[in-house]
Structure 1
Amino acid sequence: MATRVNGKVVTPTGVIRQGCVELDGGRITAVAEYPSVRDGHWIVPGFVDMHTHGGGGDTFTTGDAEQARRAADFHLRHGTTTLLASLVSSPFALMRAATEAFAPLVAEGVLAGIHFEGPYLSAARCGAQNPEFLRDPSTDELAELIELGDGAVRMVTLAPERDGALEAVKLLTAHRVVAAVGHTDATYDQTRAAVAAGASVGTHLFNGMRPVHHREPGPVVALLDAPNVVCELVADGVHLHDGMLAFATSTAGPERAALITDAMAAAGMPDGDYELGGQAVTVAGGVARLARDGAIAGSTLTMDEALRHAVAAGIPIADAVRMAATTPARAIGLGDRLGALQVGLRADLVVLDDELNVVRVMRGGSWVE
């Protein structure tokens, strides 16, 4: 049965101020002007979070399927209709176990895939990653995980300066797995080599990366400058100054900048003590930091908050929505199925009030309770 949702419709090409989205059978069948609409809510595509470790008190990082289901449900209520379950650096046994546990959730559609953030990362730029688990990339490990997941493994973040990194990038891209550059002390040239090998995402740009220097631009400039690389940005005012958020967005353009949460279990929860990858985390004032050294340990962000923050930082709403849905969907290979209010795509949408707070969420044509 056909359904129509009326309001200010945000499409990849702009805003239809008096518009409607028509859907049938879980798909969008029409996006059009609807002149009789007056002062409707914002209608935006469901958010796509390509980097989140958990939320609502539950985590993806332990490979627990029930926690993963609850964390996905928490983010769904905040408008995230598609997400990758991000792990942190772990022993291979946990990576295997998580792949086995999450593959059925990917097949079911609860998760869009698995993102391994590590363990093939830089010790010098490990941030909140557990240093005892860091190691050089292993094509044997990756090949085993890819086969075991049967399509569930969708992205792997690694540091291109580590031995074997370029071979790993080539293996990943050959199997249609996104290779991302992050937690890296790489030089500009090492980063460019990873991009040439197939890396197509910059993991939470600036954070966990060698800083920009005028005589050694490092990974940030190489990633911002690469026309086929999508740069993740954590829009929470903690990971990035709003001026840097705006700068990176204007440099890459909304078609290459993706809002992410990098959220941990503490998202949506009170301040207090938490855990991430076997390390103690303290959340105070909504900011998560490692207890041992105060390093930022993910965030307590949700995608609706990220969108509000980006708009408040001066990013036009159509661009911010593209960064929250369309660009990340394309970055993880799902742009032909979802991520925009376009005919033929899955009917995932979020209704927002004038302050951009979530009013209702639809996934696959059904309203979320």
Structure 2
Amino acid sequence: MFFGNILTSEGWRLGEIHWDKGRVTHLPCEPVDPDSNGHPRIIPGFVDLHVHGGGGADIMEGGEAPAILARTHVRFGTTRLLATTMTAPDNQIRQVLSDIAVYMQAQDRDAAQVMGVHLEGPYINPGKLGAQPAHARSGMIEEVDGLCALAPIRLLTLAPELAGHCALIRHLSERGVRVQLGHTLGSYEEGVEAMAHGACGFTHLFNAMTGLHHRKPGMVGAALAHAQYAELIPDLLHVHPGAIRTALRCIPNLYAVTDSTAAAGMPDGDYRLGEQTVTKCLGGVRLADGTLAGSTLTMDQALRNFVSLGLTLEDASNRLSRFPADFLGIDDIGRLQEGALADLVVLDPQLQLQAVYVEGRHVCGNVQGVSLCR
């Protein structure tokens, strides 16, 4: 159990949270304003649906990379994540998916739990690669089904304008894979059509997609006009605060991702991102030509960034936990309610991380208030 200001599904409550066998069994019923006292803030563990690496490891390296990034990101409050691939040759993608599946069969219980895979490419537009390697191509249903047989692909990013992709979107949606639109030169109309076929999100909104113009609204316009969900990187580097505020007004369930690379949680220097070398400096990660290449963002900083833009802690928390869980259709994570998994983050009044629990296990920090997570 733990005592403090607890963000439940019904709002803030003051008292003790109890759990048994990894699930919440009791929550207090006394409403509270968390700013009225100095007790810790207890919020749901963060759910990150776009994680390429961390702790010096890149998921495309395979082997021990899933374990390293899971141990790294739990230090910053992430309790559930999707291991996210890069565009690469087919044989490399297949090997990485197999390695992720092996890790998931006996993954570290004291780390962020890998829920499955976010396949970001190779089914993207070669004219909008961003930091993706040049292995982009159209996807075929039989090929994608083969990849899904290797590991649980929960989310797939594609460019809807490529040949055959409307049929692929329908097929993936029917088998329960969420489809996001990204790394795309598609028009507003192509974005709307893709959503009609089952696409339900947008990958790192604003980045690597056609922008908003008043006569050509582009993929950004399709998202702002029609989306219920979209992911966004709130490091205040990928997207200007004004654009973030615009998206918050337009997309009800806009949620945060880190799009983090091997450089997350590491000092400045050179790291791998797929087959490319990226450099961490001045708070960002870039290719040699200056192109932003993922991020060094961690979810605890994403929370503080959202609050710095004027969001309440409750709203910011929802965008790091409940909304991404809802997007995947999982109702027992990303929230603190009876029966939910006891994944939680303990913050001090300045929103600094104090402790992290995964399914009720104290895996990081110090409950007396001295942060050991970093």
Is the TM value for this pair above 0.5? yes
The equivalent of 2:335 in structure 1 is 340
The equivalent of 2:261 in structure 1 is 264
Counterparts of 1:187 and 1:258 in 2: how far apart (Å)? Answer: 23
Q: How far apart are residue 10 of structure 1 and its match?
A: 1.7
AA partner of residue 72 (structure 2) = F
Identify which of 97, 100, 113 aligns with 2:98: 100
The equivalent of 1:191 in structure 2 is 191
Number of residue pairs aligned between Structure 1 and Structure 2 = 356
Counterparts of 2:174 and 2:104 in 1: how far apart (Å)? Answer: 21
Unmatched 5+ residue regions in structure 2? Answer: 108-112, 365-374
Counterparts of 2:21 and 2:226 in 1: how far apart (Å)? Answer: 39
Further displaced range: 181-190 or 218-227? 218-227
Per the normalisation by structure 1, the TM-score is: 0.93
Counterparts of 1:280 and 1:315 in 2: how far apart (Å)? Answer: 35
Q: How far apart are residue 35 of structure 1 and its match?
A: 8.3
Identify which of 288, 294, 299 aligns with 2:295: 299
The equivalent of 2:318 in structure 1 is 322
Render the CA deviation track for 1:251-275: whole Å, top value 9, x for unaligned.
Answer: 212xx11110000000111111122
Counterparts of 1:100 and 1:273 in 2: how far apart (Å)? Answer: 27
3-state DSSP of counterpart to 1:112: strand
Q: Is the 8 A contact 1:136 1:165 kept in 2?
A: yes
The equivalent of 2:180 in structure 1 is 180
Identify which of 114, 135, 142 aligns with 2:137: 135
AA partner of residue 115 (structure 1) = H
Residues 163-242 of structure 1: pairs in structure 2 closer than 5 A: 163-227=163-227, 229-242=228-241
AA partner of residue 140 (structure 1) = E
Q: Is the 8 A contact 1:50 1:332 kept in 2?
A: no
Say yes or no: does 1:114 pair with 2:117: yes
Unmatched 5+ residue regions in structure 1? Answer: none
Identify which of 279, 282, 287 aligns with 1:290: 287
AA partner of residue 347 (structure 2) = L
Counterparts of 2:218 and 2:28 in 1: how far apart (Å)? Answer: 45
Counterparts of 1:79 and 1:244 in 2: how far apart (Å)? Answer: 26
Render the CA deviation track for 1:212-244: whole Å, top value 9, x for unaligned.
Answer: 0101111112123325x4110111010011121
Q: Is the 8 A contact 2:38 2:349 kept in 1?
A: no
Counterparts of 2:31 and 2:84 in 1: how far apart (Å)? Answer: 43
The equivalent of 2:363 in structure 1 is 368
Identify which of 340, 349, 365 aligns with 1:354: 349
Say yes or no: does 1:278 pair with 2:275: yes
Counterparts of 1:225 and 1:13 in 2: how far apart (Å)? Answer: 29
Q: Percent identity?
A: 40
Counterparts of 2:94 and 2:277 in 1: how far apart (Å)? Answer: 24
| RMSD, aligned α-carbons | 1.7
Q: Is the 8 A contact 1:224 1:231 kept in 2?
A: no
Counterparts of 1:148 and 1:207 in 2: how far apart (Å)? Answer: 29
Counterparts of 1:5 and 1:101 in 2: how far apart (Å)? Answer: 36
Counterparts of 1:259 and 1:197 in 2: how far apart (Å)? Answer: 25
Counterparts of 2:277 and 2:85 in 1: how far apart (Å)? Answer: 16
